[in-house]
Amino acid sequence: MKKGILYAAAAYAIWGILPVLLKTLSNVPVFQITAHRAVWCFLFLIILVASQGQLLALKAALTRRNLLIYTLTAGLLSVNWLVFVWAVNNGFIVDSSLGYFINPLVSVLLGVIFLREKLRPLQWLPVGLVAAGVAYMTFSHGGLPWIALVLALTFGSYGLAKKIAPLEALPGVAMETGIMAIAGLGYLLFEESRHTGAFGHVGLATSLLLVGAGIASAVPLLLFTAGTRRAPLIVVGLLQYISPTLQFLCGVFLYREAFDHTHLVGFSIIWLALLVFTGESLRFYPKIRKDSLFYMQKTFGFLHIKK
């Protein structure tokens, strides 16, 4: 169990400090960063699949139905990555952290809407609080916190789509990043033909960082998989807030992003919602344990794990 907690914590910590790596690539266009992230992530994962002797199994899984499902998840993940990279390199790390703070509750709400899942009465309170926090920031700033909402909705929808995804974690992620990599590689070759490609042209350090961004996207997915298989799910649920907390701290204290009174009030409302949500989950922990698959997919949306 201790190893599982360490694996999960490490995964969330890497996601939390990922903005630091992406920020060093601010001299590279956002679309190129995202494309490189997909290509190198896929190459890393496919090497891992091959090392485990699963290449033939992955090839056999390339059915029309699977390709349709994973094209959908690849599209959602691509939009999520693109917006996240743009937010980081345009000074909106705090806004992106908000998206991942509210993501668990967005995932729950999507389950209610599309899967007809039922919430306990007290679970509606944090959902309402998140709506109130978003509404407050919208009216105070004169516009929706679109970065946070796009990140939460795309990642929540990604989790919803993964509920019907038939493959295990590693081959599933390899397939969807493979689809992303095909599009990404095509785009990178197009940029290279226009002599506007960054890789190999703006310094060795930048090229290595682009490779590192892909690996840094794959490693936490694998750590998360290992962690959730070993640690109690309620512990993993609490650990998930490491990621947006670190992102928030990076934005405010490392990069000195604006955090005014409106942010303070809006974030405080949402943090209260998460406190209520976590407390309610702890109270019903024995019931949650009876159906760990349901709880994991509803709350995190990362994996498809058979009972």
Does residue 298 have a pLDDT over 50? no
| Long-range contacts (CB closer than 8 Å, 24 or more residues apart) made by 238-242 | 238/278, 239/5, 239/8, 239/9, 239/12, 240/12, 240/104, 240/299, 240/300, 241/12, 241/101, 241/274, 242/9, 242/12, 242/13, 242/16
pLDDT score of 112 more than 80: yes
298: CB partners within 8 A, 6+ apart: 107, 108, 111, 117, 159
Average pLDDT for the chain: 87
pLDDT tens-place string over residues 170-186: 888 899 999 999 999 99
pLDDT of residue 290: 47
d(CA 46, CA 209): 20
Q: Could you tell me if 175 and 55 are in contact, meaning their C-beta atoms sit under 8 angstroms apart?
A: no
Above 80 in pLDDT, residue 244?
A: yes
Q: Could you write out the DSSP letters of every residue in the chain?
A: -HHHHHHHHHHHHHHHHHHHHHHTTTTS-HHHHHHHHHHHHHHHHHHHHHHTT-HHHHHHT--HHHHHHHHHHHHHHHHHHHHHHHHHHTT-HHHHHHHHHHHHHHHHHHHHHHH-----GGGHHHHHHHHHHHHHHHHHHTS--HHHHHHHHHHHHHHHHHTS--S-HHHHHHHHHHHHHHHHHHHHHHHHHTT---TTTS-HHHHHHHHHHHHHHHHHHHHHHHHHHHS-HHHHHHHTTHHHHHHHHIIIIIS-----HHHHHHHHHHHHHHHHHHHHHHHTHHHHHTTHHHHHHHHT-------
pLDDT exceeds cutoff 50 at 197: yes
pTM summary value: 0.86
Between the two ends of the chain, the Cα-to-Cα distance in Å is 19
What whole-number distance in Å separates Cα of residue 130 and Cα of residue 268?
A: 10
Encode pLDDT of 29-63 as tens digits: 999 999 999 999 999 999 999 999 999 999 999 99
Q: What pLDDT, on the 0 to 100 scale, is given for residue 271?
A: 95
Query: Would you list the domain boundaries of the chain?
Result: 2-104+146-262
Residues of the chain above pLDDT 90, percent: 61
**How many Cβ atoms are within 10 Å of 138's Cβ, its own excluded?**
16
Burial class (CB in 10 A: 0-12, 13-18, 19+), 196: exposed
- 229 or 246: which carries more pLDDT confidence? 246
For residues 247-268, average pLDDT: 94
Q: pLDDT digits over 51-102, tens only? A: 999 999 999 999 999 999 999 999 999 999 999 999 999 999 999 999 999 9
Q: Work out the percent of the chain whose per-residue pLDDT is above 70.
A: 89
Q: Is the dihedral of CA 80, 82, 85, 90 positive or negative?
A: negative
Mean pLDDT of 23-29: 95
Model confidence band, residue 284 (pLDDT cutoffs 50, 70, 90): low
304 confidence band (pLDDT: 50, 70, 90): very low
User: Mean per-residue pLDDT for 235-257?
Assistant: 90
